Structure 1
Amino acid sequence: MLQQILREMYIEPDLLDELSEDQKQILFCKMREEQVRRWKVREEEEENKPPEKTKKSFKHGKGSNKKQTSFLKGSDGKDWVWVMGEHKDDKSIEQILEEEAQERAIKQAEKEAEELRRKEEMELKKALQEEEKLAENNKDKEAENKRKEDEAEMIKSLKEAHIAVQKREKDKKSVKKRHHEDEKMKSLKKIDEIKTRRSSEIYFHWKQNRNTLQKDAEKSSQILEEEWREQEKRVKETERKMREIARRAREEHRKSLSGSVKVIGAANAFKSYIHKKGPAPPIPEGRPSKAPKDKSAEENEHHPLPPRPRNRNSVIKWFRKYEVPKATGLDPQTKKPAQWFHGLIGRAEAEGLLKEKKAGTFLVRVSERIWGYTISYRSEDRCKHFLIDKSDDNYHFFGSNQLEHTTLNDMITYHSHTPISTEEELLKHPCGQQVDPPDYCDLFHDGRSESTTL
């Protein structure tokens, strides 16, 4: 860790706070030594760089490199000449040779003495250098041992400080995690309490409604049974009177021919009696009703819609036959197509219309996948599409247990203040037409007959 700190020349503040003052001073000295070492290395690199070659220019002049010799002049103005041995003070050749030999001997002795002295000095200097080197090595070893001990102590302190920092962070994380778990447990407990209380309330209301419905059913059953018995009693009395009248008519017919008139009068009297008594008794439960069927229902039974549209033309025929009479897609006030209403456009085209719009913008298009419509909605990050099922008499989102609406306009108005999803998405801004003619023209205008089935 110390090597990493010296390499980066940086220590984290939290780790520095864990060190004592002595450790901080040692660390400062180590960092200072590292700075000096780097400076020396850089200086040596600068010194070891080869010198740049410089071009020298030489000027060559006439007689600039030639040596000149001049001679001494005598009193006569001519070159002075000395002939050895001609003067009285001149030494003989033997004397000169002897003197030169003595001088050479003296110089040789001095040279040998100098060499000996120099050799002794070199040996002494070498010995001193070896002693100094040995002392320096011992000193360096001691310094190295001390440095290693300091580094070991520093590393130990840094490790302890690092462990302390990690432990402190771990304690913080554990405390935070424990607090989060406690909050989560409280939230789950609160949700369980709410669910339990709400389920109890729902069960209590369901039980009350069930008891009320059961009582109402028993009461209505008793009333219906009493009415049925009363009707049955009246019918039996009527049948008895009819049999009595028929018996009397037969007896009178046997007596005379004029009795036929009486029989006819009795029959007329019976008819008037039945007319005065009121309508026939109600049909008991379990029997099928023979009420006349609605004409549109009969048409739907003869021509039921397939599970899904076959093609685009079948959707257009369905819309003109069933939706145009209901004024679907029209504004209730202006009786013109609503601003949000679009025709048979695809998913990609709807997303293109909503691409540059703000969040909350929507349009309603006729679907080719089901008998119904699709709401294309622009949210914060993308476009969403919601299917509206119209396979029955109401309008609701595709799926089960959905809220039903009488008209498409009611559904759009309802979701302008009630979100269509759990993300608080409201139908705020209708997206109008951007092409001319509008894309819904083929839904409302066609000159051909529509007698063919869907």
Structure 2
Amino acid sequence: MMQQILRDMFVDPELLAELNEEQRQILFYKIRQEQVRRWTESESQEGSWERPLTKERDENRKSVQWLQGRDGEVWVWVMGDAPGDKPYQMIVKELMEERARRQAQLEAQELWRKKEEEIKQKFRDAITKEKARLVAGKWKEEAEDRKAAKQEEERIREKLKKQEEEEKQREEEEIRRAEEKRAKELYMSLEQEQKRSEQGDKEWEEQLRRSKEADEEMTRKARWARDEHKRQSLRAIEKGHVASLSGHFQKQSHRRHTLFFPISPAWVRTPRPSSREMVILWFTEEQKPKQAGYERNGNAIAPWFHGIISREDSETLLMNAAEGSFLVRVSERIWGYTLSYRTASGFKHFLIDASGDYYSFLGVDQNRHATLADLIDFHKVKEHKTVTIQSTVLLNII
């Protein structure tokens, strides 16, 4: 199963859900090792045919020469830090004030253009109206009054022009005050936008910090899982337990099982179980001849073996059991078994790979055992007690 995962570089989500945290970390660590190995191999192959072109590329390559300072290092100027430079905050403030002033000035110019056009049109209409009134007057028809009419017209024109200038001054003053007010509003808006931008930068930095901490925590867990795997392997060697049987015993056992339990020619094992019926067929054709689930030295079913039951059923059986109690059930996710374990705070489930000619914990324990009972006896501690509830499912299968 592990070789298939590393070959395909894919873990089925349902299978991943069955693994506990320690098994996941070791599995991801091994996948990462395989990725690095493939990448290194690919780089070495590509480098073999790229080397002849390196010299030609170097001859045609353009180079950049950096300006150096007195200390011989690359000269760098940081705005606001050099002698005579304004502080960064002052530079930003001046830029925002200038930007607000220009925007307000443009708006004021547009407003003044409209106002000026309105004033000109207003007094143009007034002059036209006065001319019409003077022309319509009967007194203007008399010759002696023409001079007086002309003087009256000039007086009215001067009066209207003076009024026009006064109104222009009032409008200019009003627009100037509006421009100053608008410049302050724009500056405050830009300042708030700057604060929001700084707040966004702080939030982004906080997210980046949390992401780095999560990566470091993941690396730490992977390192711990790797060290734990080494420690367990060394512990197994120190105990002196040999998990595999001799080749002679395996051949005799295989011949004995083959005689009494021939494998059906129609049985073809897929990469992973697709149905409960396939699991039952696999157990009947492959595991039953190997006495899987039986006592190590006998023909009785082991008290810890419960056949094909669900994860929920196993947790129900272990609910009232003491801490350290466990049972073994047939897995419906892989060709193998699941060891369900009662902890102080809940339950743990460990997958046991039985797809080959041996039994081993998937991803965690690399010790290979010839039988399922050997694996259980190897890892069982004397203080742990097995759950002795009988399983009717097992009886139906067998």
TM-score bracket, shorter-length normalisation: 0.3 to 0.5
TM-score, structure 2 length as denominator? 0.32
Larger radius of gyration: 1
Determine which structure has greater relative contact order: mean sequence separation of CA pairs < 8 Å that are 6+ residues apart, divided by chain length.
Answer: 2
More helix by share: 2
